[in-house]
């Protein structure tokens, strides 16, 4: 992501400090003053623009995919300005998904207010097609395994649909509430304005800042949040983009307080956010909490109070690259003893007695959450995203998945055991009793063959062909020599 910083109408110490800070911490970011004619550089040199201005003059900007502005009124210290610059760059430099090809938008998107008030009949084409609809990563999306969490959560009829095991987004019906991105456990669907990587970059930049107190406000209306020292305000199309996974990640960092603020209480995802805040607060049992949901004029008044009373948090963590692993790592880090798992989206598994330990689920699991060790099937809940593919392909229909309740268990546990049948020749355990019974019942005349392990079965075949299984047997030696000659001839 090519990011350019424009220092509009600045000179003196602040300009020098910003240039020095960016050079030391963001070496790939270009810095220009407004007198360097930045607008003429439009095209390939910048995908995103961060403008730092005193507001006395307006510097025209070239068209970019993303743009942010920091207004400096003169009351801030240099360190406060650098704190904001660092946070904005953490987000912008990781917003590559915003530059992906999203194609044209046939119809202007419905606002969440139009959706909530029933104005669903609009069909006027948009004069300026917007590329702000959710983007789906086909490689990551688990719709192909049977997952439909986003579809079941979406409040806009027709906005999301699964066709031929792939998730399809309707730009015309989508209201940009962000709920699909907030609920997806693997970040396969994201909003360009606040992608998963951008959010992680934002958290990383803020938590590494030496600021004395760090508060992050995520809001649908940035203009309603008053400017306050050491508070970074980030705009999103709808607050639903912040779910329990995103809040857990924030709570696991050194950020003192993370506040989700809806200016009018009309965001379609607000109830989802409120539940997520309650869940994270309940498992951390922190006092005061580190995550909040606020709305309306009363919420604005609360932001500064929360910021001033927030406790300093010492932890600074490096989150794993995987969105799901980042989430469960955060849950492990923030959970108090005895914390309950209800509502966190962690999966539990039950196995019926019909299981034959056939390896079907183990070989098919996209996250390696299942393993068979001799006579037992092991399940690792922290690896499982709940896609449901194992239950879908199980030939015995032995697998039942459900949301975990009770204490949080993020570890490996045995979910099924069966007696192992020994090979009648070498006495090595090789197949489960239920699988042996199933196969022998299907082909009873072959019981003397299936009672042997794979190795002994091969030996028996050789013995039938050549009389005995010994390396000195001339027939085996001749066969081996012929095979080696053919291989040598083929390879030259």
Give the domain CATH number at 12: 3.40.1400.10
- Residue 475 pLDDT grade (very low, low, confident, very high; cuts 50, 70, 90): low
Please give the residue range of the domain that contains residue 389.
Answer: 347-417
**Other Cβ atoms within 10 Å of 63 Cβ, number:** 10
Q: Is 208 part of any domain?
A: yes
| In contact, 158 and 399? CB cutoff 8 Å | no
Task: Indicate if the pLDDT at residue 81 is higher than 90.
Answer: yes
Q: Is 341 part of any domain?
A: no
One domain, residues 208 and 272: yes
One domain, residues 149 and 260: yes
The first and second tokens of residue 332, run together, are 């492990």
Pick the more confident residue, 38 or 354: 354
SS (H, E, C) 246-287: HHHHHHCCCCCEEEEEECCCCCCCHHHHHHHHHHHHHHHCCC
Beta bridge partners of 69: 51
**Other Cβ atoms within 10 Å of 450 Cβ, number:** 18
* End residue of a domain, out of 368, 395, 417: 417
One domain, residues 77 and 146: no
One domain, residues 262 and 388: no
- Residue 477 pLDDT grade (very low, low, confident, very high; cuts 50, 70, 90): low
| In contact, 228 and 256? CB cutoff 8 Å | no
One domain, residues 320 and 464: no
Number of domains making up the chain: 4
**Other Cβ atoms within 10 Å of 288 Cβ, number:** 12
- Residue 116 pLDDT grade (very low, low, confident, very high; cuts 50, 70, 90): very low
Residue 285: the pLDDT is: 76
DSSP state of 144: G
One domain, residues 424 and 406: no
One domain, residues 161 and 301: yes
| In contact, 34 and 61? CB cutoff 8 Å | no
Span 431-446, pLDDT tens digits: 999 999 999 888 877 7
Q: Is 33 part of any domain?
A: yes
Site of tokens 């810095």: 31
DSSP state of 460: H
* End residue of a domain, out of 29, 58, 93: 93
One domain, residues 313 and 224: yes
Task: Indicate if the pLDDT at residue 268 is higher than 50.
Answer: yes
Q: Of 280, 289, 227, 299, nearest to 256 (Cα)?
A: 289
Q: To which H or E segment does residue 24 belong?
A: helix 12-25
Site of tokens 């007695």: 353
One domain, residues 164 and 310: yes
Q: Is 75 part of any domain?
A: yes
3-state secondary structure of 58: coil
Task: Indicate if the pLDDT at residue 43 is higher than 50.
Answer: no
One domain, residues 273 and 369: no
| In contact, 221 and 294? CB cutoff 8 Å | no
One domain, residues 324 and 191: yes
Any idea how long the chain is? 492
The first and second tokens of residue 410, run together, are 């993020």
Distances (CA, A) of 67 to 8, 52, 73: 14, 11, 20
Task: Indicate if the pLDDT at residue 180 is higher than 50.
Answer: yes
Q: Is 215 part of any domain?
A: yes
Sorted by sequence, the CB contacts under 8 Å of residue 118 that are 6+ apart come out as none
- Residue 289 pLDDT grade (very low, low, confident, very high; cuts 50, 70, 90): confident
CA dist., res. 149 & res. 192, Å (int):
20
Average pLDDT of every residue of the chain = 85
DSSP state of 107: B
How many distinct helices (H) and strands (E) make up the chain? Answer: 16, 19
CATH of the domain at 399: 3.30.70.20
Q: Is 342 part of any domain?
A: no
Residue 106: the pLDDT is: 33
- The predicted model gives 18-38 an average pLDDT of 84
Q: Is 5 part of any domain?
A: yes
Residue 107's Cβ-count burial label (10 Å; 0-12, 13-18, 19+) is middle
* End residue of a domain, out of 372, 391, 417: 417
- The predicted model gives 91-114 an average pLDDT of 57
- Residue 167 pLDDT grade (very low, low, confident, very high; cuts 50, 70, 90): very high
One domain, residues 11 and 144: no
């Amino acid at each position: 992501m090519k990011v350019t910083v424009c220092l509009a109408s600045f000179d003196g110490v602040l300009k020098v400090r910003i240039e020095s800070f960016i050079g030391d911490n963001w070496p790939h970011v270009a810095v220009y003053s407004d007198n360097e004619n930045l607008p003429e550089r439009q095209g390939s040199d910048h995908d995103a623009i961060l403008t730092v201005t005193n507001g006395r003059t307006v510097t025209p900007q070239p068209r970019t995919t993303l743009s942010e502005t920091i207004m400096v009124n003169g009351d801030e210290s240099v360190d406060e300005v650098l704190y904001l610059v660092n946070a904005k760059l953490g987000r912008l430099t990781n917003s590559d998904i915003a530059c992906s090809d999203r194609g044209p938008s046939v119809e202007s998107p419905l606002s969440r207010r139009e959706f909530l008030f029933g104005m669903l009949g609009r069909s006027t084409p948009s004069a300026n097609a917007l590329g702000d609809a959710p983007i789906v990563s086909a490689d990551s999306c688990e719709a192909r395994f049977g997952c439909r969490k986003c579809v079941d959560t979406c409040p806009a009829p027709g906005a999301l649909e699964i066709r031929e095991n792939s998730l399809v987004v309707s730009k015309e019906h989508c209201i940009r509430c962000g709920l699909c991105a907030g609920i997806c456990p693997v970040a396969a669907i994201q909003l360009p304005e606040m992608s998963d990587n951008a959010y992680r970059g934002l958290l990383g930049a803020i938590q590494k800042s030496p600021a004395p107190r760090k508060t992050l406000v995520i809001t649908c209306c940035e203009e309603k949040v008053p400017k306050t020292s050491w508070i970074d305000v980030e705009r999103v199309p709808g607050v639903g983009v912040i779910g329990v996974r995103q809040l857990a990640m924030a709570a696991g960092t050194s950020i003192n307080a993370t506040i989700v603020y809806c200016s009018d209480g009309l965001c379609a995802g607000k109830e989802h956010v409120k539940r997520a805040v309650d869940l994270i607060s309940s498992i951390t049992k922190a006092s005061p909490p580190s995550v909040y949901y606020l709305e309306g004029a009363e919420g604005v008044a609360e932001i500064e109070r929360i910021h001033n009373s927030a406790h300093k948090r010492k932890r600074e963590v490096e989150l794993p690259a995987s969105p799901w692993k980042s989430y469960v790592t955060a849950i492990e880090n923030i959970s108090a003893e005895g914390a309950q798992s209800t509502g966190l989206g962690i999966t539990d598994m039950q196995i019926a007695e019909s299981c034959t330990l056939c390896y079907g689920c183990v070989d098919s699991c996209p996250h390696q959450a299942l393993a068979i060790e001799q006579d037992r099937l092991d399940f690792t809940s922290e690896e499982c995203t709940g896609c449901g593919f194992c239950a879908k392909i199980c030939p015995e229909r032995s697998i039942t998945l459900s949301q975990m309740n009770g204490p949080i268990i993020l570890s490996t546990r045995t979910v099924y055991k069966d007696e192992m049948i020994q090979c009648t020749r070498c006495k090595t355990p090789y197949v489960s009793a239920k699988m042996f019974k199933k196969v022998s019942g299907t082909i009873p005349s072959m019981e003397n063959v299936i009672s042997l392990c794979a190795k002994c079965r091969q030996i028996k075949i050789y013995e039938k062909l050549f009389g005995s299984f010994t390396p000195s047997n001339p027939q085996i030696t001749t066969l081996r020599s012929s095979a080696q000659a053919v291989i040598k001839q083929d390879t030259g």
